[in-house]
Amino acid sequence: MPVSSGKMRIGFIPAHRGFFSPQLAASMRAETIQALERQGVEVVVPTPDQTKVGCVENRREAELCAELFRQHRVQGIVVGAVNFGDEQSVAWTIRLAQLDAPILIFGCQEEEVLRPNTPRRDSFCGLLSIGEALRQIGARYSVARRPICYPRDAAFTQDLDWFLRVCRVVQGIRHARYGQVGVMPDAFWTCRFDEKRLQRLGPTTVVLDLSELIAGAEKMSDSDPMVQTIGRQLREYADTSAVSESALLRSAKLEAFLRRWVEENGLDALAIQCWTSIQHNYGVCTCATMSRLGDEGVPCACEADILGTLSMHACWLASGSPSALADWNNLHNQDDELANLWHCGVFPKAFAKGQPRYGRHEIMVSSGGAPEELAQGTIEFVAKPGPVTLCRVNLEAEGPFQAVLAEGQIEDNPAQTFGAYGWCRIPGLQRLYRDVLLRHFPHHVAMTQGQVGNVLWEALGNYLQMNVFYADQVIPGQYTPRLPFGG
């Protein structure tokens, strides 16, 4: 799965020290650029015409490199100690660039066994100095899984993929725009959030009153080309045999209006007041619209849960795969590590084991919350087996943002319910669940396919400075670096 639909711009600092061979430095510079470009990256680096062999080894070259990074607005920085490297030049480049971007540091391996006359790099020593210099200027950085390596190594390729995902999460959240449609249900204090503190983290909240959504959808013409197109797509997206044509039309109009609002406001994700006003005042559930938008990379959280939206967005940015918002719904009565991750019918189709079914909101109908003819529009299915990553970001009344992470496996199980759901096996679930309770996380958790817990751990814990909790973490409640992808 590609990290991004467009090229990421990564600044590269080939850290050189003049005492060492410029030819060896140039070869590792070129090899690192090739490794980055193989990942689909746009590399921003001084050319050999601008600095000695295109590397950075003094203040003047650091100033030139920093200006390049600012001009191109790089989204991350890779520091390669092509030999011992000049730590002050690295520090000055990053300090002068003033980009606050994620940084990956690594050193290049020696070419041959060390002897008195062997051309040498000594990156093993120099990388320590570079790390210390970055600490002294207060720069946060990441370390490759194999800190000393050749850029052509498979391990380095994996580290680059991990780092690019980290950059995507950090930059995506810092510049995010989340649409909040309506308000949280009164009974759900778990969906409260502090909009001003969220803005300090990065995301901007754009608000739309639910009445404006309803009025806008009702004004949409049946013959509107977008409405007609969405109507056809709904029939392909799920089995619609159990719902009325009028419900499909209302869903198509609702989706058309929301798509235009998302486009006009440059939104990355949504949180929607999904019950029960929309059913009584418009006549359909929002689930189908939210499922379809989520399937296309616009995560949609239920119950106007903006921090749930942030959690889903982080998952999407980390994995490049659609994300869902689930309830920690049910612990299997015979298995302490098996939990039912469920919601009424809003999961993206990407999670489905088979063709989804367009249905009614069973809880709403059975409880008398809304009649059946007004409560159609859920997307129901059983999730397919496979690895998943779970994430929930929360904010206390006082203190920093915090996140809980888990990696698990959706598996087949004969236990059944309605809506959209999957049985997820999570090692250490009981310990994790205690942290969810003790650290005040709510009943909503974001989920994405694949195991990207380490991406989220690094992005949220290191760069966005959240307290991160994990079932097998080394130091509870603190950012504790782990090896990428559980390695």
What single-letter amino acid sits at 486? G
**At a CB cut-off of 8 Å and minimum separation 6, what does 381 contact?**
347, 349, 351, 352, 353, 354, 355, 356, 357, 420
What whole-number distance in Å separates Cα of residue 377 and Cα of residue 357? 10
Pair of tokens at residue 29: 């510079």
Contact 149, 155 (CB under 8 A): yes
Q: How many C-beta neighbours within 10 Å does residue 397 have?
A: 8
Shortest CA distance to 28 belongs to which of 103, 127, 99?
127
Pair of tokens at residue 474: 């080394």
Within its chain, how far is the Cα of 230 from the centroid?
A: 27
**At a CB cut-off of 8 Å and minimum separation 6, what does 244 contact?**
373, 376
DSSP β-ladder status, 9-15 and 42-44 = parallel
pLDDT given for residue 478 in this prediction: 60
Shortest CA distance to 346 belongs to which of 245, 208, 229, 444?
444
Shortest CA distance to 304 belongs to which of 185, 214, 196, 198?
185
Residue 217's Cβ-side half-sphere holds a number of Cα atoms within 13 Å equal to 26
Q: What is the pLDDT along the chain (487 residues), one digit of tens a residue?
A: 334 446 899 999 999 998 899 999 999 999 999 999 999 999 999 999 999 999 999 999 999 999 999 999 999 999 999 999 999 999 999 999 999 999 999 999 998 887 887 788 999 999 999 999 999 999 999 998 899 999 999 999 999 999 999 999 999 999 999 999 999 888 888 889 999 999 999 999 999 999 999 999 999 999 999 999 999 999 999 999 999 999 999 999 999 999 999 999 999 999 999 999 999 999 999 999 999 999 999 999 999 999 999 999 999 999 999 999 999 999 999 999 999 999 999 999 999 999 999 999 999 999 999 999 999 999 999 999 999 999 999 998 888 999 999 999 999 999 999 999 999 999 999 989 988 898 889 999 999 999 999 999 999 999 999 999 887 766 665 666 665 544 3
**At a CB cut-off of 8 Å and minimum separation 6, what does 44 contact?**
9, 10, 11, 12, 68, 69, 72, 74
**At a CB cut-off of 8 Å and minimum separation 6, what does 60 contact?**
none
What whole-number distance in Å separates Cα of residue 204 and Cα of residue 302? 18
> What angle (nearest 5°) sits at the alpha carbon of residue 237, between those of residues 356 and 296?
110
DSSP β-ladder status, 300-301 and 401-411 = unpaired
